[in-house]
Amino acid sequence: MKEIKHYINGQYVGSVSGKLFNNVNPANGKVISKVHEAGREEVDAAVQAAKAALSGPWGKLTVDQRSAILHKVAAGINARFDEFLEAECLDTGKPKSMASHIDIPRGAANFSVFADMVKNVPAESFEMSTPDGTGAINYAVRRPKGVIGVISPWNLPLLLMTWKVGPALACGNTVVVKPSEETPTTTALLGEVMKEAGVPDGVFNVVHGFGGDSAGAFLTEHPLVDGFTFTGETRTGEVIMKSAAKGIRDISLELGGKNAGLVFADCDMDKAIEGTLRSAFVNCGQVCLGTERVYVERSIFDEFVARLKVGAEELRVGPPDDPNANMGPLVSLRHREKVLSYYQKAVDDGATVITGGGVPDMPNEFAGGAWVQPTIWTGLADDSAVVTDEIFGPCCHIRPFDTEEEAIELANSLPYGLASAIWSENITRAHRVAGQVDAGIVWVNSWFLRDLRTSFGGSKQSGIGREGGVHSLEFYTEMKNICIKL
C-alpha cells in the first residue's frame, strides 16, 4: 500500500513516531494510501529548513530567476497532468470532467500568473525638501516576509494550496505546507515537481497531519514562522489567529460563508437557474463561495423553485471516471454525517423538501462512498440552523422577498460576508444592490467568474485580508522605505 511521506528540505521522510493514518477514497470508502503524521520533530525540521533556505540560494536569486523557476513548476504540473488528475480525484471523489477543467489547470496557472505578476508589481517613490535645501528621495522596496505557514483545505486541494504557495514563492518566501488530512496526495506530489524544476531544498516543505495536537497546531505554535495563510472554517481560523498573536505574526484568513443569492423579477430566468444550479451544487456543494441561501422576488418564486427542482433532479451523481457525472460524493463519511444531520434538521424544523434530502442508490462498488442527494428546501424560518449555519453540502433554502430593501436586509442578516450573487437585468439596480451587500465579492448575472488579478476574500466572520493579484503580494512581502539624503 502506498505511503505518503513528508517533504522536508528536498527529501521525502517518514515520521519518527511511525504514526500513520488512512487516506480514504470518498467514492467507495476504501483506503487508498497510508499517510505519515507529523510530530513536533518533523514540523520543526521543516520550519528550520525553510528558515535556512531564506538566506541560501533562494534568497540570492533575482526576481527574474525566481520567476523562471516557477514557470518550470507550472510546466511540470502540466507535464504530469494525468497523474495529478488521478490523485486529486482519488482523494476527493470529484468528477474528472470538473477537475480536468478547473483544479489542475488552475493549480498550474497559480505559479505562472504570479511568476509574471511579481515582475510588474508597483512600488512608490517621493521627492522631498530638506531644511538645507539639498532634498531627499524616499523609495519603497518589497522584501519577503520570511517563512510562511500554509494551511490548505480539502475541497479544492491543489488549486487552493498553490493559490497560496505560488505568490509566496514568487515574492521570495519559503513555505511549510500542511494540507488537509483528507486530501494529502497532490500536495505531496508537488514536491517532486519542485525538485525537477530546480527549486532549492528547503524552499517548499510539506508536513501531514491533523489540527489540534498534531501538525497544524505544531506549525502555528512554531516561533520561527513569520506568517500564516489559511482557508477553512471560521472556528479554526480563530484558533490560528490566537496562535499567531504570540510573536505578532501576520495572518491571511479566508473563512466560512453562508452566501446569499438574490434573484429579482427582472432577471434572465435561464441565466439565474443555470447559475444557481452551479453555485448550489458544483463540487457537491463543497465550495466556500457556494450559494446556500437563495432569495427570490415573490412574483417569480414559484416558477424559480419549480425550474430549480427540475435542474437539480437532472444532475448525474457518479464516480470520477463517469464522463456524464457532474456531481461526486462528499469528501468523507464523517462530513456526510454532518450534512445529513442538517438534512434531518430541516425536516424537524418544518421545511418543505422540494427535492432530495437523503442518500442516492449507488452501484455496489460505490455503496460505501459518501454520497448525498442534491437537496432544495423552502418554508424555513430565518433563524433555523439550516438557514444560518454553513452546511457545505449540495443544498440550498429558497425564500421569497417583496422589496429590494428586504432582499438586502436578508442578504446581510448573518455574521458571514464572503460572497453573493445578484440576478437582475436592470444594471442600475444590480449596481445599487451590489454596493449595499456586505460581502467581499459580489457577482452580477454570473458566479465563480474569476480574474486572478482581482481581490478575493471575505468580510465580517468570513476572513481577514485579501488574496489575488497585487493583494496577494501585499501579504507575502514587507514594504521597506529607503530615505536617501541628497
Supply the CATH classification number for the domain 3-255+462-485. Answer: 3.40.605.10
What do you get for the CA distance between the two ends of the chain, in Å?
68
CA distance 25 to 319: 11
Do 229 and 249 meet the contact criterion of CB atoms below 8 Å apart? no
CA distance 402 to 398: 14
CA distance 94 to 44: 34
Domain ranges of the chain: 3-255+462-485, 259-451
Do 232 and 210 meet the contact criterion of CB atoms below 8 Å apart? no
Q: How far, in Å, are 293, 300, 304, 311, 316 from residue 270 at the CA level? A: 19, 13, 10, 11, 20
For the CA atoms of 333, 363, 357, 30, the dihedral, rounded to the nearest 10 degrees, stands at: 0
- Please list the pLDDT of the chain residue by residue as tens digits (486 residues): 599 999 999 999 999 999 999 999 999 999 999 999 999 999 999 999 999 999 999 999 999 999 999 999 999 999 999 999 999 999 999 999 999 999 999 999 999 999 999 999 888 999 999 999 999 999 999 999 999 999 999 999 999 999 999 999 999 999 999 999 999 999 999 999 999 999 999 999 999 999 999 999 999 999 999 999 999 999 999 999 999 999 999 999 999 999 999 999 999 999 999 999 999 999 999 999 999 999 999 999 999 999 999 999 999 999 999 999 999 999 999 999 999 999 999 999 999 999 999 999 999 999 999 999 999 999 999 999 999 999 999 999 999 999 999 999 999 999 999 999 999 999 999 999 999 999 999 999 999 999 999 999 999 999 999 999 999 999 999 999 999 999
Per the structure block, which three cell numbers stand in for 419?
460572497
Do 42 and 207 meet the contact criterion of CB atoms below 8 Å apart? yes
Catalytic residues: 254, 288
Looking up cell 456531481 gives 327
CATH of 259-451, one of 3.40.309.10, 3.30.1490.20, 3.40.50.300, 3.40.140.10: 3.40.309.10
CA distance 423 to 260: 11
What are the beta bridge partners of residue 480? Answer: 141
pTM over 0.95: yes
Pairing outcome for strands 459-460 and 416-417: antiparallel
Give the model's pLDDT for residue 122. 85
Per the structure block, which three cell numbers stand in for 433?
444592490
383 three-class SS: coil
Give the model's pLDDT for residue 123. 87
Pairing outcome for strands 375-378 and 352-355: antiparallel
Give the model's pLDDT for residue 253. 97
